């Protein structure tokens, strides 16, 4: 190679090795190298940017190779030792150029494409260069003012970083509006959290790594420790030994991201007393750490009350149960279990009661739940009477119904008895006024006859009438006492009939007998029927026949008077029914009917042949019971 | 490969053939050319050691034709390369094809066109076009030789500003001024009006460490800028060359001797202009061959294909191909 040609070629080649787009630089250099030195192939790799340039593209050869900081080169062709040295020197320069070009390309792209606004300024902060983002945000700027660490422009916030490069500075402004807003929101959130936490009566504690990092005032109150004490490392001291495992398990579960259902825990206060608390927990990121946050409410009183009421419910004679919307038992007290003969929990109403009862109960359950108010009902089942309250319940969105059934069978019986008693007393009162008045009216009539006729025998009748009145009053008094006691006893029907017959002037015969459950009211029955036969039927005699008929004791009282017309046969036993010129209060036969019914029997009237009436009593025989 | 000299109207009778036509028959050629004919229009054609301006050379052989960079897929041993000699893009197309094919083929050809300016100098069938390249892939391998024979002077220039084929500044001064001033020192008076007449004897060369320097032929002046017949890289060290007819003719002789046989010749038209009557002496080395007077030449067996100026290129089929 001629020296001058060589120098010229080297000079020309070196001139092509100038910074620029790396691929273009290498292609130009390669082409010139091959042309100027009459070589065959140029292969160069730039690992930094994963670039491979081959001239020609199918070049594959082993020749002179060079490896620099940025390039790996293979050159093929006629290359002697001298050319190798020349190439090495030139390629070193190319390597520098490529290295700088790569970094220049990097930095120019970073500079121009950066999402940060970048200014290059001199010492007087005159802007020498600004990137696209800077132009977009600030327009063309001649001089930058001094900034703090954050500057505000056009309603946005930018963090400011300045990098010193001796004579120039790079000023980088990053849009931190979102971050700032988030920070403000986070600050507000934290303040709100603290305010809420302080205001809430529930103890709030945040912990991490077995240390509390936050405690509110309520936490001080419930634990007895000051906030400083809680934050200075008090942790496990809060929990009794047998509760620590429960706490550890909950903490582990919570910090691993699992949900921990609220649970009840005992804690030990600073003064050694224990409290029962309900723990609600969650986790959150706070100051860059995952922390557990628990809200603790003191449920000691609630638990005690719960225990108390649980005992009350369990020992209650009332049937207490909770059922769901399908009528399935969720809870039941022992009384309820006893009443249905099994533990009903898990079973449905339909499984425990007959179909009609179960359907009726389920309807009330649903009615109470839907209305949201208590439904009360009187229910009879298994020959017993209950007052059941259906009380709607809602816990955590689950709607159920509490059933409280009180067995009021005895009360109901007593109520019925009192009702009957009252009616009876009213009747007795009427009887007294009616029958006594009758007797006294007879006596007065006889006395008036005596005053006119001065017939001594009439005085006997007066005496008899007065005696009947006295007898009625006496009998009614005892009848009243017996009714008040409400007890029936076994009596002889015949005996009562005969005793009453003695007080009447007409002949009264009594045949047969049987024992029935009755009281002194039976006397009133006979008296009223006898009196009715004499007074209204104007009979001259009465025949009483007593005989058992099946479970009944049939008493037929026949008179031979006017009889009872068919049209009033159904009415004569009604309260206040009066008929004929000698009608009295209309209560006599009504009293008969009520007394007979009280004994569980019945009464009616038939015609006697050839005339007169037959009052038929049917009373339950004692033997039949 | 069979070449014959035809009248342009005889082209109509040709089947599949490569046609080398002088620019004087360009108009008529369009009338007679058939679909199976490809080729270029040159300043002149060479046939058996003579230059013709009114006849065409037709070559019948087995070939495939590719237009532009599609030649990157060419199959063959030799790419007969016909470029638009005025087109900078044509040089780039050659480089693109080389980038793909490398030295798997021999590049051998020259620039078509007219010395009077840009014309549609390339054709494939009835389509005539410019600013492109036609590559004719031949199955045969060719040995090629290229020489210019121009002599370096002591005058060098630094092409500090260039743009493609244009030299804007030489030695940091307007290129035309520097060039004219230098020629003036050598006794040649260069003016814009006589630019081609004077400059044809004083080309530039780009110095190569090895091989012949690359001659750059200044073919026009545009203002102060000198237009060459090939690309001049910015930063090139250019040497002023001078012509010597004997030297030029020896270059042709050297090529012919190197090859042993000459079947195809591509000779730069500006050499012909420079040699004038003496071209006949150079042409005797071209006997038995056909070819063209070209605007730029290409000959590359190995290494990077260079678009040369002011050279003579000869080719001969390898006997064992």
**A1 at B interface, C-beta within 8 A:** yes
> Tell me, what's the pLDDT at A472?
66
Chain A residues whose beta carbon lies within 8 Å of the beta carbon of residue B100:
56-58
User: What's the pLDDT band for A486 if we cut at 50, 70, 90?
Assistant: low
Which residues of chain A does B104 touch, with a Cβ-Cβ cutoff of 8 Å? 58
Q: What is the pLDDT of residue A477?
A: 55
How many A×B Cβ pairs under 8 Å?
74
Q: Say whether A56 and B209 touch across the interface (CB within 8 A).
A: no
Half-sphere exposure for A122 (CA within 13 Å, toward CB): 5
From B159, which residue of chain A is nearest by alpha-carbon distance?
A12
Is a pLDDT exceeding 60 seen at residue A419? yes
Is the CB of residue A6 less than 8 Å away from at least one CB of chain B? yes
- pLDDT of res. A606: 94
**The predicted structure's pLDDT at residue B320:** 61
**Which pLDDT score, from 0 to 100, does residue A481 have?**
47
Contact A37 B210 (CB under 8 A): yes
Instruction: Name which of A36, A78, A83 to mutate to probe chain B: the one with the most chain B Cβ atoms within 10 A of its Cβ.
Output: A36
The whole-angstrom separation of Cα B101 and Cα B69 is: 11
Q: What is the model's pTM? A: 0.55
Question: Which residues of chain B are under the pLDDT cut of 70?
Answer: 320-321
Contacts of B239 in chain A (CB under 8 A): 8
pLDDT of residue B271: 92
Cβ–Cβ gap A34/B104 under 8 Å: no
Which of A94-108, A293-307, B134-148 is most confident? B134-148
Nearest residue in chain A measured CA to CA from B209? A6
Residue with tokens 């009281």: A519
> How far is B316 from chain A, CA to nearest CA, in Å?
22
Comparing C-alpha atoms, which of A366, A363, A313 is closest to residue A337? A313
Q: Which residue of B has its CA nearest to A54?
A: B99
Torsion of CA A135, A136, A137, A143, to 10 degrees: 10
User: What does pLDDT average to over chain A?
Assistant: 87
Provide the percentage of residues in chain A whose pLDDT is more than 90.
Answer: 42
Residue of B102, B209, B210 lying closest to A58 (CB–CB): B102
Name which of A448, A357, A471 is nearest A403 in CA terms.
Answer: A357
Among partner residues B99, B209, B235, which is closest to A5 by beta-carbon distance? Answer: B209
> Contact B306/A35, CB-based, under 8 Å?
yes
Report pLDDT for A1: 63
> Contacts of residue B164 in chain A, CB cutoff 8 Å?
none
Q: Dihedrals φ, ψ of A561, to 5°?
A: -95, -140
Between B129 and A9, the more confident residue is: B129
What is the spatial distance between Cα A509 and Cα A365, in angstroms, rounded to a whole number? Answer: 65
Of A9, A38, A56, the CB nearest to B207: A9
Structure tokens at A14: 């070196």
- The residue in chain B having the minimum alpha-carbon distance to the alpha carbon of residue A83 is B209
Q: Which of B122, B79, B85, B124 is nearest to B98 (CA)?
A: B79
Record the tokens describing residue A502, joined without a space.
């003695």
Could you read off the pLDDT of A589-601 as tens digits, one per residue?
Answer: 877 888 888 888 9
> Residue B98: its chain A contacts at CB < 8 A?
56
From the centroid of its chain, how far is CA A594? 54
- Report pLDDT for A51: 95
Cis peptide before A126 (omega within 30 of 0): no
Q: What is the nearest CA distance from A102 to chain B, expressed in angstroms?
A: 23
Considering only the beta carbons, identify the residue of B101, B207, B303 that sits closest to A77.
B303
A568/B264: higher pLDDT: B264
Contact A58 B214 (CB under 8 A): no
Which residues neighbour B174 within 8 Å (Cβ) at sequence distance 6 or greater? B168, B224
A37 interfaces chain B, CB cutoff of 8 Å: yes
The model's confidence at residue A489, banded by pLDDT at 50, 70 and 90, is confident
Pick the closest to residue A295 from A423, A193, A412, A180 (CA basis).
A193
The separation between the first and the last C-alpha atoms of chain A, rounded to the nearest angstrom, is: 151
Whether the CB of A29 is below 8 Å from some CB of chain B: the reply is no
pLDDT band of A161, cuts 50, 70, 90: very high
Query: Are B210 and A55 inside 8 Å of each other by CB?
Result: no
- pLDDT of residue A455 exceeding 90, the answer is no
Name the residue among B102, B234, B239 with its Cβ closest to that of A59. B102
Q: Do A57 and B104 touch (CB under 8 A)?
A: no
**Nearest by Cα to A277 from A212, A325, A224:** A224
Q: What number of CA atoms fall less than 13 Å from residue A445's CA on the CB side?
A: 9
Please report the DSSP string for B216-283 in residue order.
Answer: E-EEEEETTEEEESS---TTEEEEEEE--HHHHHHHHHHHHHHHS--SEEEEEHHHHHHHGGGHHHHH
Number of H helices, E strands in chain B: 7, 27
Average pLDDT of the residues in A367-388:
89
Residue with more model confidence, B219 or A481: B219
Check CB contact under 8 Å for B104 and A39. Answer: no
Sheet holding A156-165, edge to edge: A127-130, A117-121, A168-175, A156-165, A150-153
Structure confidence by residue, pLDDT tens digits, A220-279: 999 999 999 999 988 999 999 999 998 888 888 887 878 888 888 999 999 999 989 989
Q: Which of residues 43-82 of A touch B (CB under 8 A)?
A: 55-59, 77-78
Mean pLDDT in residue range A426-434:
72
Q: How many residues are there in chain B?
A: 321
Q: Tell if the CB–CB gap between A5 and B233 is shorter than 8 Å.
A: no
- Minimum Cα–Cα distance from B96: chain A residue: A56
Contact between B209 and A77 using a beta-carbon 8 Å cutoff: no
CB-nearest partner of B209 from A16, A37, A59: A37
Residues 6+ positions from A178 with CB-CB distance below 8 Å? none
User: Which residue in A8, A11, A18, A60 has the most chain B C-beta atoms within 10 A of its own C-beta, making it the best mutation to test that interface?
Assistant: A8
Mutation to test the A interface, candidates B105, B210, B235, most A Cβ within 10 Å: B210
Does the structure show a pLDDT above 80 at A476?
no
CB contact under 8 Å between B101 and A11, yes or no, is no
Q: Is B17 exposed, middle or buried (0-12, 13-18, 19+ CB in 10 A)?
A: buried
Could you tell me where the beta strands, DSSP code E, fall in A550-593? 552-559
Which residues of chain B does A77 touch, with a Cβ-Cβ cutoff of 8 Å?
Answer: 303
A interface mutation test: which of B208, B304, B306 has the most A CBs within 10 A? B304
Question: Does residue A41 sit at the B interface (CB-CB below 8 Å)?
Answer: yes
Q: Quick check: B235 and A1 CB within 8 A?
A: no
pLDDT at site A480: 59
CA distance B96 to chain A (A): 9
Q: Using CA atoms, how far apart are residues B285 and B297, in angstroms rounded to an integer?
A: 18
Q: Which residue of B has its CA nearest to A15?
A: B235
Model confidence at A194: pLDDT above 90? no
Task: Give the Cα-Cα-Cα angle A185, A186, A189 (nearest 5 degrees).
Answer: 85
Query: In this predicted complex, what is the ipTM?
Result: 0.89
Mean predicted confidence (pLDDT) in A527-548: 90
The residue of chain A nearest to residue B100, with distances taken between CA atoms, is: A57
Helix (H) or strand (E) holding B174: strand B173-174
Asked if residue A516 lies in contact with residue A620, where contact means CB atoms within 8 angstroms, the answer is yes
Partners of A188 in the beta sheet? Answer: none
Per mean pLDDT, which range of A28-42, A163-177, A472-486, B21-35 is the poorest? Answer: A472-486
Contact A55 B99 (CB under 8 A): yes
pLDDT of A251: 86
- Among chain B, residues having any CB pair with chain A shorter than 8 Å are 95, 98-104, 156, 206-211, 213-214, 233-237, 239, 302-304, 306
């Amino acid at each position: 190679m001629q020296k001058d040609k060589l120098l010229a070629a080297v000079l020309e080649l070196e001139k092509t090795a100038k910074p620029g787009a790396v691929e273009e630089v290498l292609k130009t250099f390669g082409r010139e190298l091959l042309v100027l030195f009459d070589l065959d192939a140029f292969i160069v790799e730039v690992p930094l940017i994963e670039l491979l340039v081959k001239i020609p593209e199918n070049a594959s050869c082993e020749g002179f190779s060079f490896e620099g900081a940025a390039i790996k080169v293979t050159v093929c062709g006629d290359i002697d030792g001298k050319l190798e040295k020349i190439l090495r020197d030139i390629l070193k320069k190319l390597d520098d150029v490529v290295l700088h070009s790569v970094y220049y390309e990097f930095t120019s792209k970073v500079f121009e494409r950066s999402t940060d606004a970048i200014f290059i300024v001199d010492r007087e902060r005159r802007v020498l260069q600004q990137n696209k983002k800077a132009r977009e945000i600030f327009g063309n700027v001649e001089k930058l003012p001094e900034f703090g660490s954050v500057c505000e422009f056009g309603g946005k916030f930018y963090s400011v970083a300045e990098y010193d490069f001796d004579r120039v500075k790079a000023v980088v402004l990053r849009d931190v509006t979102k971050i700032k807003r988030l920070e403000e929101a986070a600050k507000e959130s934290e303040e709100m959290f603290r305010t809420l936490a302080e205001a809430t009566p529930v103890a709030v504690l945040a912990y991490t790594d077995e240390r509390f990092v936050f405690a509110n005032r309520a936490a001080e109150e419930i634990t007895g420790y000051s906030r400083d004490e809680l934050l200075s490392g008090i942790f496990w001291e809060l929990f009794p030994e047998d509760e620590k495992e429960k706490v550890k398990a909950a903490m582990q579960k919570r910090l691993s991201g699992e949900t921990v259902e609220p649970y009840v825990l005992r804690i030990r206060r600073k003064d050694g007393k224990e409290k029962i608390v309900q723990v609600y927990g969650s986790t959150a990121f706070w100051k860059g750490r995952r922390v557990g946050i628990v809200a603790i409410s003191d449920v000691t009183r609630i638990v005690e009350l719960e225990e108390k009421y649980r005992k009350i419910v369990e020992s209650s004679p009332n049937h207490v149960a909770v059922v769901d919307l399908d009528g399935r038992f969720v809870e039941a007290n022992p009384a309820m279990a006893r009443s249905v003969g099994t533990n009903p929990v898990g079973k449905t109403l339909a499984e425990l009661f007959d179909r009609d009862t179960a359907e009726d109960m389920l309807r009330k359950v649903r009615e109470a739940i839907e209305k949201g108010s208590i439904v009360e009902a009187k229910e009879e089942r298994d020959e017993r009477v209950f007052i059941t309250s259906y009380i709607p319940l809602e816990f955590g969105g689950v709607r159920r119904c509490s059933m409280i059934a009180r067995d009021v069978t005895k009360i109901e019986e007593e109520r019925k008895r009192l009702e009957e008693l009252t009616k009876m007393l009213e009747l007795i009162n009427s009887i007294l006024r009616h029958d006594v008045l009758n007797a006294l009216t007879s006596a007065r009539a006889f006395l008036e006859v005596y005053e006119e006729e001065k017939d001594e025998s009439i005085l006997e009748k007066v005496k008899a009438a007065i005696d009947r009145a006295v007898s009625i009053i006496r009998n009614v008094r005892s009848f009243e006492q017996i009714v008040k006691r409400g007890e029936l006893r076994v009596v002889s029907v015949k005996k009562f009939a005969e005793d009453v017959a003695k007080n009447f002037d007409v002949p009264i015969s009594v045949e047969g007998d049987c024992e029935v459950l009755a009281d002194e009211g039976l006397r009133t029955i006979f008296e009223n029927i006898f009196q009715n036969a004499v007074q209204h039927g104007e009979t001259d005699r009465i025949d009483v026949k007593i005989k058992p008929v099946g479970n009944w004791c049939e008493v037929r009282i026949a008179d031979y008077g006017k009889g009872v017309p068919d049209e009033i046969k159904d009415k004569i036993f009604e309260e206040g029914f009066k008929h004929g010129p000698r009608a009295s209060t209309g209560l006599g036969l009504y009293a008969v009917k009520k007394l007979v019914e009280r004994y569980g029997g019945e009464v009616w009237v038939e015609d006697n042949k050839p005339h007169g009436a037959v009052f038929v009593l049917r009373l339950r025989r004692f033997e039949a019971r | 490969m069979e070449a014959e000299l035809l009248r342009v109207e005889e082209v109509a009778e040709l089947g599949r053939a490569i046609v080398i036509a002088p620019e004087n028959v360009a108009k008529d050629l369009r009338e007679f050319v058939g679909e199976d004919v490809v080729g270029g229009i040159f300043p002149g054609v060479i046939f058996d050691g003579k230059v013709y301006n009114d006849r065409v050379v037709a070559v019948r052989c087995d070939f495939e034709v590719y237009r532009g960079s599609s030649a990157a897929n060419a199959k063959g041993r030799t790419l007969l390369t016909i470029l638009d000699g005025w087109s900078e893009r044509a040089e780039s197309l050659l480089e693109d094809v080389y980038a793909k094919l490398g030295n798997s083929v021999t590049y051998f050809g020259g620039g078509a066109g007219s010395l009077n300016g840009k014309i549609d100098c390339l054709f494939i069938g009835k389509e005539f076009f410019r600013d492109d390249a036609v590559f004719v892939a031949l199955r045969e391998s060719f040995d090629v030789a290229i020489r210019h024979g121009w002599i370096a002077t002591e005058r060098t220039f630094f092409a500090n500003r260039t743009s493609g084929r244009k030299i804007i500044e030489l030695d940091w001064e307007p290129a035309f001024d520097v060039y004219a001033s230098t020629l003036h020192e050598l006794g040649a008076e260069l003016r814009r009006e006589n630019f081609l007449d004077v400059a044809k004897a004083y080309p530039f060369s780009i110095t190569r460490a090895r091989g012949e320097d690359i001659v750059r032929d200044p073919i026009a002046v545009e203002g102060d800028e000198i237009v060459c017949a090939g690309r001049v890289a910015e930063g090139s060290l250019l040497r002023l060359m001078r012509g010597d007819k004997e030297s030029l003719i020896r270059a042709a002789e050297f090529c012919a001797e190197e090859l042993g046989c000459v079947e195809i010749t591509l000779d730069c038209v500006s050499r012909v202009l420079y040699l004038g009557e003496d071209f006949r002496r150079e042409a005797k080395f071209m006997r038995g061959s056909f070819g063209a007077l070209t605007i730029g030449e290409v000959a590359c067996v190995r290494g990077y294909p260079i678009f040369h100026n002011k050279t003579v290129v000869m080719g001969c089929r390898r006997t064992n191909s």
